[in-house]
Amino acid sequence: MNKKNYIKLAKQSAAKQIFELKKINKVFNNNFVKAVESIYQCRGKVICAGVGKSGLIARKVSATLSSVGISSFFLSPSEANHGDLGQIDKKDLLLVFSYSGNTTELTSILKYANRFNIKIIGIASKPDSTLIKASDIKILIPSVKEADPTGMVPTSSTSITLLLGDCLAVALMNKIKFSKERFKVFHPGGNIGQTLLLVKDIMVSGSRIPKIKISSNIKEASSKITKYKLGLAIVMKKNLVAGILTDGDARRSLRYNLKSPDLKKIMNSDPVFISENSTASKALSIMNKKKITSLLVTSEKSLNSKKRNKNLRGIVHIHSILQFGVK
């Protein structure tokens, strides 16, 4: 077969699935709303179930729900028939996927849920199917034409089922007011976690900040720098930052001055600040540009203030940023 034919066939398959996926709008009715509200109000776990390709969809939907803070897990109906039904509690909710709705392996799990009054959200394409009849909330997927040459292999049907699951998840995210902050909590690792990592998550704060009064002498400042091992000390005046004194500043001063000089003469009175709500990647970018290893952290309000002296929330050091894998 000519290689160009592969591309032609792929485009035809994609076009057919895109056309069929537009039928998803028929699903967004009152039952869809009830499903979103029921999942939101669930005080137990959202248990996603399905067999075969529908099982793969159920796993993915469950993983998505868990990733946004909705307690969920996947339960294989086949395994449930051999003892795993005990994982289902009366407070839980079943979200069951089956395109035909008549999968034999679903029978036991549906009977169990009905017997103990466990709510079922059933997702299937046939209104007279076993799943739809057993469900408290019935979501009917439109019948779609598969995109393979035989019209029998699950392609469009799995795509539209996955799309529905994602739409449910997105609606729930809006309901629970999901945000980047909450997403970061559930994704501390990987590229996403690094991208969302904020300065306030990794900064040195509280008693770990090496602060010195502006009236201190250079020996006191040098001792503070050595003790806290950040390579600097923050010079404070009336609880506001007056300047920053680095290890290099202190050593050069001690080398060339017999008497302890005034800190005002040797400190940097215009240190670089960053907001506590800025991303760690932005902090690293500023450090690289300025060729420095630390930034002082302040509030957004203080950062935007025209006043030179700012309040201090913490210090973000390049070692902390690199430790978290931010690049």
Cβ atoms 121, 73 nearer than 8 A: no
The CATH H-level superfamily of 3-178 is Glucose-6-phosphate isomerase like protein; domain 1 (3.40.50.10490)
Cβ atoms 133, 158 nearer than 8 A: no
* Sequence ranges of the domains in the chain: 3-178, 199-323
Residue reference for tokens 């999901």: 178
Burial class, 20, CB count within 10 angstroms (exposed 0-12 / middle 13-18 / buried 19+): buried
DSSP string spanning 224-252?
Answer: HHHHHTSSEEEEEETTEEEEEEEHHHHHH
C-alpha to C-alpha distances, 202 to 76, 97, 183, nearest whole angstrom = 40, 42, 17
Global pTM exceeds 0.75: no
* 1: its two tokens: 């077969």
C-alpha to C-alpha distances, 222 to 137, 251, 315, nearest whole angstrom = 69, 8, 18
- Write phi, then psi, for 122 (nearest 5 degrees): -100, 130
- Pairing type for strands 240-246 and 232-237 reads antiparallel
- Write phi, then psi, for 68 (nearest 5 degrees): -110, 10
The domain over range 199-323 is classified in CATH as 3.40.462.10: no
Whether the domain at 3-178 and the domain at 199-323 fall into the same CATH topology: no
How far apart are the C-alpha atoms of 180 and 288, rounded to whole Å?
Answer: 26
Q: What is the pLDDT along the chain (327 residues), one digit of tens a residue?
A: 666 788 899 999 999 999 999 999 999 999 999 999 999 999 999 999 999 999 999 999 999 898 888 889 998 888 766 656 778 888 999 999 999 999 888 988 999 999 899 999 999 999 999 999 999 999 999 999 999 989 899 999 999 999 999 999 999 988 887 655 555 555 555 555 556 678 888 889 999 999 999 888 888 888 889 898 898 999 999 889 999 998 888 777 766 654 556 788 888 899 999 999 888 888 999 999 999 999 999 998 888 888 888 899 999 998 888 877 776
From 103, 99, 101, 102, select the one nearest 158 (Cα to Cα): 99
* 314: its two tokens: 């913490």
